[in-house]
Each structure stands twice: as C-alpha cells, then as structure tokens.
C-alpha cells in the first residue's frame, strides 16, 4: 500500500463527511435545511459553505469544506516551520461550528484538515490536523463523559497514548489566555500529524471525523426540549462572547484563513448570530451559572466518570 499522500482520497472523504454531518444535523433539527454557497478563491481553489439558520434546534450551524492552494505560505503557517517559507501549498478541510437555540444544548466545533507544502517536489511536507471540542453553557457530567468517551474510543485502536495526549493538547489550545479560562470542556486536538505514514494517519483522521456526530447528536437529542427562560438565554448570549473572543484573538485557523486571502464570510461563519458582552460580570456564587466555572471549565478526566 502506497504511503505517498493521496490528495484525491482526502478530498473525497472530506466532501462525503460534510454531506453526512449536514444530513444528521438537518434530521436532528427537523425544520431547517442547509443553504449551500459555493465559492472560488482568486489565488487558487475554493469550497462550499453550508449554513443552517433559524432552525427549531440550531439557531445557526455552519459546515464548510475548502480546498485552497497558493504559491507562498502565510505567516501563520510558517511561524513554527520557517523552512517552508516561499513554498507552494495546498490545504483541504472541513470545519464546523454549531450554535444551538436552547442554552442547555452546548455549542460544538469540529475541524479536520490536511496540509501539504511543495506537493510536486521530491520531498513534499504534509500533515493532518483537527479534532472536536464542546462548549456548554450549563454543565452536565453525563454529557461531558459521553463526549470524551466517544473521543477516546475513536482513537483507541491506534494506540493508548493518543487520547490523553490529544485531550491535553485540546485543553491547552482552547484556552483564553487573556482571561485565564478554558473555552469549554475540550475533546481532541492534534496537528502536524504524520508520524505513522500517510495511510495510517489518514485512518486516524477519518476516525476522528467520523466520531463527531456520535459524540454530539445524542447530547442534542437529550437536551433540546429542556425548558428555559430569559435567565438561561441571557447567560448563553454572555458566554457566547467568550467564543467570539477566542475565534478572533487566538484561533490559528481563523488567522490562516484571513492571512491566506480566504473567503471572509466562510471563515467567520463560525461566529454566533447573537452575542452579549457585559462589563466586569460574574455570576452569583452557588448558581448553576457559577458552577460552569467552578466545576466544568477546568481540565478533568471526563472519560473516567
């Protein structure tokens, strides 16, 4: 079996993954459907952005596929690999962010991507990356345990070391340094993954992508009908502000997309439709809102619960 990178196989998988995720989310919502917006990039490549808006379950869901390429890497891609500066490159990926209507349903994010530099050269440099993470507004230990167990089981066939390593990487990455707090309860995050050769790395990559819906959909199904009022909605909008802060200030994918001349609407479709910022606000001690900070927004061995 060849170990040379197979871009066509990666692209076919990602297009199918986008289709499957959109079908599952439409089924769970029951009223809204995704609108597709194909686009092209002047510097090379393009993609198809899909957005579901104003659904009964999902206030906004964006699932985007992109395959872009260029002749020179942007600074965000060469900061840790200066030897790649000036090299031609290609990047393929599916990225999604789901903002539910009900505050008891968590926001979720997933991204799986493949990158290759100097693809036509004698020694192309390539790697896989991605993962998924969960951002609840109200904490439920059984939801967190299910999310992490599904993540753990997805990569378990490829070695016992992957889940703890990639869980920690996720906890460290999705962290708002300027506030000293995690964005959510984590999941999996990996990057620069090529150590096992192309075929084995591609298998891990597919396992992660395929695990997203089994991780998220049962939580949505369980929580989407929970009653809520203005207090819960107000808290949800406030916490969405943290999501916006991370995506705009820290997220490397956002920076790469903007620096590489990507399509702004597709890059920023991850942002929630409504959000609230309050000055110097803290929830009342002992409330369920305060418990999100004290009991959930900290690294824990959720899969062991």
For the chain, the domains span 7-296
Q: What is the pLDDT of residues 230-252, one digit of tens each?
A: 999 999 999 999 999 999 999 88
Residues contacting residue 61 through CB under 8 Å, at least 6 positions apart: 25, 34, 51, 52, 55, 96, 97, 98, 99
Dihedral of the alpha carbons of 293, 60, 231, 180, in degrees to the nearest 10: 20
- Cα end-to-end distance, the chain, whole Å: 40
In this prediction the pTM is 0.92
Tell whether 178 is in a known binding site. Answer: yes
Q: What pLDDT sits at residue 77? A: 62
The pLDDT of residue 1 is 38
Catalogue the active-site residues: 109
User: 109 a known binding residue?
Assistant: yes
Mean pLDDT of the chain: 93
Instruction: Tell me which CATH homologous superfamily contains domain 7-296.
Output: Coproporphyrinogen III oxidase, aerobic (3.40.1500.10)
Q: Is 139 annotated as a binding residue?
A: no
pLDDT level of residue 75 (50, 70, 90 thresholds): low
Query: Starting from the edge strand earliest in sequence, which strands make up the sheet with 58-70, in order?
Result: 35-40, 45-53, 58-70, 89-100, 107-117, 125-135, 186-193
What percentage of the chain reaches a pLDDT higher than 70? Answer: 97
Where does the pLDDT of residue 78 fall: very low under 50, low under 70, confident under 90, or very high at 90 and above?
low
Percent of the chain with pLDDT over 90: 80
Residue 99 annotated as lining a ligand binding site: yes
Residue 27: Cβ within 10 Å count: 9
pLDDT of residue 72: 76
Q: Which neighbouring-strand residues pair with 100?
A: 58
Q: What is the mean pLDDT of residues 88-112?
A: 96
């Amino acid at each position: 079996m060849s170990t040379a990178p197979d871009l066509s196989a990666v692209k076919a998988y990602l297009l199918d993954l986008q289709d499957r995720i959109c079908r599952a989310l439409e089924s769970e919502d029951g009223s809204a459907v995704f609108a597709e917006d194909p686009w092209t990039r002047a510097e090379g490549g393009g993609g198809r952005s899909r957005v579901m808006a104003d659904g009964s379950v999902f206030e906004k869901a964006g699932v985007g596929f992109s395959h872009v390429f260029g002749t020179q890497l942007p600074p965000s891609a060469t900061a840790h690999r200066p030897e790649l500066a000036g090299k031609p490159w290609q990047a393929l990926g599916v990225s999604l962010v789901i903002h539910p209507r009900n505050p008891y349903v968590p926001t979720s994010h997933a991204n799986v991507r493949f990158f290759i530099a100097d693809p036509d050269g004698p020694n192309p440099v390539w790697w896989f990356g991605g993962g998924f993470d969960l951002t609840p507004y109200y904490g439920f230990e059984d939801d967190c345990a299910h999310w992490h167990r599904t993540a753990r089981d997805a990569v378990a066939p490829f070695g016992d070391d992957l889940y703890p390593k990639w869980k920690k990487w996720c906890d460290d990455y999705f962290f708002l340094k300027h506030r000293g707090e995690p964005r959510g309860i984590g999941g999996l995050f990996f990057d620069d993954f090529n150590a096992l050769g192309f075929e084995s790395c591609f298998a891990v990559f597919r396992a992660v992508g395929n695990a997203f819906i089994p991780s998220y959909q049962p939580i949505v199904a369980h929580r989407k009908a929970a009653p809520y009022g203005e207090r819960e909605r107000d808290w949800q909008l406030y916490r969405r502000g943290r999501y916006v802060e991370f995506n705009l200030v820290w997220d490397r994918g956002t920076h790469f997309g903007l620096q590489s001349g990507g399509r702004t609407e597709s890059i920023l479709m991850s942002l929630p439709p409504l959000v609230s910022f309050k000055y110097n606000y803290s929830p009342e001690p002992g409330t369920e809102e305060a418990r999100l900070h004290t009991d959930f927004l900290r690294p824990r061995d959720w899969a062991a619960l």
